[in-house]
Amino acid sequence: MKKSNKSIAGYHLLMILSAVDYEFCPEEGLLVKEYLQEEFPFKMNLDNELEVISSLQPEEWKDHFEFHAHCFYDDSTEEERIKFADFAKRLIKADNEVTEREHQFYKLMKTIWKLD
């Protein structure tokens, strides 16, 4: 897999976090859109990225998530990781229910980033 930059890696992380409970609620979609507007103030075509994400089978999500968590880590400061982790927490809470699987992926990200 080709290394991603921080912004693309963040997109992959958020999309997988929003999918691991097998429901994509409108509130999560709005938060992903907010992230995209902050990270890509110019028009960016993410069709290829979305195609990669949507082609993953659920059993592939964890490896893909870990890979992009490492990509994000490599290109970010601790402050950026803390800010993103707070944003990711908002995302998994967006539907007013945090599943065990969402929590596991969120904790995995924080562990990779040494934020525990």
> Which domains, ranges and CATH numbers included, belong to the chain?
6-112 (1.10.3680)
| Contact by Cβ (8 Å): 93, 99 | no
User: Residue 40: its pLDDT value, please?
Assistant: 87
How far apart are the C-alpha atoms of 65 and 42, rounded to whole Å? Answer: 25
Q: What are the structure tokens assigned to 94, written together?
A: 């967006």
13-65 pLDDT per residue, tens: 999 999 999 988 899 999 999 999 999 877 778 889 999 999 999 999 999 99
Helix segments in the chain, DSSP class H:
6-19, 26-39, 47-55, 61-74, 78-93, 100-112
Q: What are phi and psi of 56, to 5 degrees?
A: -70, 140
User: Residue 44: its pLDDT value, please?
Assistant: 78
% the chain with pLDDT above 90: 85
| Contact by Cβ (8 Å): 94, 31 | yes
User: Residue 82: its pLDDT value, please?
Assistant: 97
